[in-house]
Structure 1
């Protein structure tokens, strides 16, 4: 496990299984774990601030000092050439010195290039990492666009207390760009396994804000569209570390 993964040991199933839609159910904290185990709701933290005020991460300065080198404006037909993969809790996530992330602060992986490749790397990392943080709301507060969707996400993240065991989490398997601008990008991610017949696709949106890409949450707290089952990766670019 890489040094970047230090402190990223917990992966609440109520977030990861829901956010990653492995079972095709998408509501945070209201899902079945991959093994069919019912999610457990944790008792509310009496000392926790209401979700609407849990935005301390907004005070984090823009991504100054970042140095991703990628400047290619074309949509990638292949993943970044310098991608390496690291285990972060139960997820295998990509890093690119050219496209990002290039800065790691606990569970937060930031500094992405403002290019299609940077947006792709952000979409994969933020989509998975939002369920890996300890405390659970760290990534949501710092790397999800502020608004009702993030508030609802944080509210739900505070209420779940369950883990996905190694081997249960569907890993990223491919991607396809839906749309790209330097300000907003929509990427269809595929996770699961073709061999196991568990491939699913879902759309993830990232937005350029405060000098970096951030994840966009829907008003209901979802971090993606509902999942669609696939039979193969035809039409998608394979992209995965397992």
Structure 2
């Protein structure tokens, strides 16, 4: 499909079919954001102005700053502890075909447990976050309504997006249950022990490449997917001509 065929708004078949190639990609119009900077004064009389948070992912990943919360450990006894986002194809990753979709797995980074449609327990590391984003997004993309409901309840950050997704999934089936593309590459936009923002590139069945931005957050001892308020599992969906500039990562050649 072409970039103009990417589902947007109410014309998409469901909140998360097609591994991230969904509504958040092509919002109609521009949203103006008013940033309010609060200036406080310390006891010495000096003004301290908090730095504004990033409104978009940065172009390069970075390790967590020294002030970030301490890493709380890995789920399920996983052994990966490397806090540096990968800059080359991760080693030790194998791929499993699920409904025709190749999904990554690592004995050191997860998933440590697979319970029906839910693959959970990831290392509290960049690699754990990368595999979690891929696994959760891919499994949602090929899931039946009933399976997708289980995944959302177990592996999504609660909020308006989850509420909308669960509501839509209570109706008729919204997906075909088959993959329309395969993971091809990735790029970390940013990483802290709390939040990872990752661009995933997929090679679609028609030979084109799409890239979408996924956000996962560390919550309750595991990485969980942050949905958009409209129910989309990713944002910034666009079409690219190749994987140039991204790190190759695929289980299907």
Does 2:81 align with 1:84? no
Q: Where does the alignment leave 5 or more consecutive residues of structure 1 unmatched?
A: 1-12, 28-62
Name the structure 1 match of 2:40.
none
Q: 1:75 to 1:196 in 2, by over 3 A?
A: same
Larger Rg: 2
Q: Give the match for residue 232 of structure 1.
A: 242
* Corresponding residue for residue 17 of structure 1: 17
1:42-67 alpha-carbon deviations (Å, 9 max, x no partner): xxxxxxxxxxxxxxxxxxxxx99602
TM-score by length of 1: 0.72
Q: Offset of 1:75 from its aligned partner? A: 1.2
1:96 paired to 2:106: yes
The residue aligned with 1:169 is 180
Seen in structure 2, the aligned counterparts of structure 1 residues 71 and 196 have a Cα distance that, compared at 3 Å, is same
Cα gap change, 1:76 to 1:158, in 2 (>3 Å): same
Matched positions, count: 190
Q: Distance in 1 between matches of 2:180 and 2:131?
A: 19
- Whether the aligned pair in 2 keeps the contact of 1:67 and 1:111 (CA below 8 Å) is no
* Cα distance change on mapping 1:20 and 1:218 into 2, 3 Å: closer
TM-score for the superposition, normalised by structure 2: 0.69
Judge conservation of contact 2:16–2:231 (CA < 8 Å) in 1.
Answer: no
Q: In structure 2, what is the equivalent of residue 213 of structure 1?
A: 223
CA-based RMSD of the aligned residues comes to: 2.3
Higher strand share: 2
1:1-242 alignment runs, 5 A limit: 14=14, 17-21=17-21, 25-26=22-23, 66-131=76-141, 132=143, 134-164=146-176, 166=178, 169-193=180-204, 196-242=206-252
Superimposed CA distance per residue, residues 85-112 of structure 1 (whole angstroms, 9 cap, x where no aligned partner): 1111231101001111111111111111
Q: CA contact under 8 A between 1:15 and 1:160: conserved in structure 2?
A: no
